[in-house]
Amino acid sequence: MDLTRSPLARPFPDMPPVEGVTMRVARARYKNWDRADLTYAELAEGTTLAGVFTQNVCCSTEVEMGREQVKLGRARALIVNAGNSNAFTGYRGRDAVEQIMAQVAHHLECAPSDVLVSSTGVIGVPLPKDKAQEGVAAALHAEPCSWEDATSAIGTTDTFTKGAASAAMIGETRVVLNGIIKGSGMIAPDMATMLGYIFTDAAVEPAFLQQCLSGANARTYNCITVDSDTSTSDTVLAFATGKAGNVPLSSFDDPGADAFMAALEDVCRSLAQLVVRDGEGASKFIAVNVSGAANDDSARRVGLAIANSPLVKTAIAGGDANWGRVVMAVGKAGEPADRDKLGIAFGGTWAARDGLPVADYDEAPVAKHLEGQEIDITVELGIGEGRATVWTCDLTHGYISINADYRS
């Protein structure tokens, strides 16, 4: 299948080196293709680890093992396999993961549990152990590569490479954060999403790194959706090598902790939005701003009900300010709402307020706004102080073409 680059794509950013992180790629040829599809990140001794994972009950071995490894809070390596998710493959899938962990651990002289493994691609086919072994062997001795090459190697149906970088001052020490991510379909994160990795040279205690990542996750990855389908492999990992030499962060009381958290959330939000920008068939990027909800969580659920509505998404695709469909989606969310207090705006122009169409509603600026690629929908529920922003894309013929033609 030829995938054309998303019209909403963003260029890959300049990303600085992160001390203690070396990226390498190799060709394991998990599919019948000639491209790097195995990524190896070597991490300095002392690297701490945090992670968030899919809540899908039918998750992959990699997710199950990753959950246990995050409890230990340390990492020396990451292997990402692209083209085969190894999900729903039972004991054979687990064998393949354990083989990879042992192979890398032997090379680095570390514990197998220090080796994180992720896989993405077709469900139900055990990861071939022979290809994995040869691919890992090649990656262990490959020349270091660029961040963009590594990002390209973790991709599957992605139409562009997605990265984000940020920095923060911790005391007198400047730390950097680099994030890379893949994903474009089966996107409706539930505690985590897709495959995303954040690398920082900051020194951060694992428990606090987990606290920061979980917090950022709630306001970024858990606030995006492409198609309401939650993957079996969703994983976001954060690695902190500590090579920047700052006093290790262990709580929000530490100087620089707020700056680090802000930088981390910035990277997470950028990565999450980039996934939406590569949503299968997407032609428009949609921000759904919900305010006046009973609480923030309720606002997020109302936002997701709107963002997941096929009727809202197709209306936006057609440039139609069909606010009746937004009313419908608010009403079906199952959250506290009052029809007679509801307000809806597109691009800052109110179409309805206080439960009634606006009397002198001028559709011209709304029509103009909907012609663009960046769409804002604002919903005011009028019953409380809760607010959230959810990001999604429109639903187009492109989504159908990609997913009705893609063969398992």
Question: Which residues are annotated binding-site positions?
Answer: 156, 182, 193, 280, 403, 408
**Stretch touching a copy of itself by CB under 8 A, among 10-18, 51-59, 141-149, 214-222:** 51-59
Q: Does 171 bind a copy of itself (CB under 8 A)?
A: no
Pick one of 357, 362, 371, 372: the residue that binds a copy of itself (CB under 8 A): 357
Pick one of 315, 345, 370, 379: the residue that binds a copy of itself (CB under 8 A): 315
Q: Does 144 bind a copy of itself (CB under 8 A)?
A: no
**Stretch touching a copy of itself by CB under 8 A, among 36-44, 205-213, 252-260, 338-346:** 338-346
**Distances, alpha carbon 35 to alpha carbons 11, 82, 177, in Å:** 21, 10, 27
**Stretch touching a copy of itself by CB under 8 A, among 84-92, 130-138, 268-276, 372-380:** 84-92
Q: DSSP string spanning 5-30?
A: PPTT--PPPP----TTEEEEEE---S
The residue behind tokens 């009028």 is 382
Q: Is residue 4 packed enough to be buried (19+ CB in 10 Å), middle (13-18) or exposed (0-12)?
A: exposed
Residue 193 annotated to the active site = yes
Q: How far is the CB of 397 from a copy of itself (least distance, A)?
A: 5
Please, what's the b/e burial string for 356-378 (b: 16 or more CB within 10 A of its CB; e: otherwise)? eebeeeeeeebeebbeeeebbbb
Q: Which residues are annotated as a binding site for substrate?
A: 156, 182, 193, 280, 403, 408
Rounded to whole angstroms, the Cα distance separating 397 from 20 reads 44
Rounded to whole angstroms, the Cα distance separating 95 from 91 reads 6
Residues pairing with 285 in the sheet: 374, 393
Catalytic residue among 39, 89, 151, 193: 193
Q: How far is the CB of 212 from a copy of itself (least distance, A)?
A: 26
Short-list 340, 370, 345, 369, CA closest to 356:
340
Binding-site ranges for a copy of itself (CB under 8 A) = 55-59, 85, 87-90, 122-125, 185-186, 188, 190, 227-232, 308-311, 314-315, 317-318, 320-325, 327-335, 337, 339-340, 342, 352, 355-357, 395-397, 399-401, 403-408
Residues assigned a catalytic role: 193
